[in-house]
Amino acid sequence: MHRCLLLAAFLFAASAALAAGQEQKPAPPPSPCTVTEQHQLDFWLGDWDLTWPGSEPNTVQHGTNHVIRILDSCVVEENFSGGNDMHLRGKSVSLFDTRSGKWKQTWVDNEGAYLDFVGDFKNNMMTLSRAFTTPDGKPMQQRMIFKNLAGDEFDWSWESSTDQGKTWQVVWPIHYRRHK
């Protein structure tokens, strides 16, 4: 009987230790594709009609943008077309990088451009920027800002700075309106 009690006590202690060991295992980190920040670009998803000031005074040019999620919804893919008004066609892929806590985007187009951006979503605006050196050796910064987010429309602006971001010049403003 004494052995049975010792065996029962040993089994109980071993079982409790095993259970405690299982409780102490840390939970696996969430998938980078399911973090809350991953949805900060959801406003951009869909089919869009675009307008921007034309090259001639008092004219407007038109284009389109088709934005979807790909790769198990982890990546936002953009497909831009300047339509009949502009030769430019381009594509970008964007994702929220959980390691840096920043959004990252890569843009490529039919004019040979490769641009890489980093940014974040604050105050109901998405800002993605990059620094580079011009061919003549001057430092420059570029950024794009998604702003005035209102469900079925918003404004986007392409801006540049030659004074390390102290001042910015709007180079290309585009108004997005959801295609109906």
What's at 106, amino acid-wise?
Answer: T
Q: Give per-residue pLDDT as tens, 54-93.
A: 988 999 999 999 999 999 999 999 999 999 999 999 999 9
Total domains in the chain come to 1
Domain contains 30: no
Domain that holds residue 145: 36-178
Q: Give per-residue pLDDT as tens, 6-59.
A: 444 444 554 555 555 556 777 777 788 889 999 999 999 999 999 999 988 999
Residue 84 near residue 107 (C-beta atoms within 8 A): no
pLDDT greater at residue 1 or residue 34: 34
**127: CATH:** 2.40.128.20
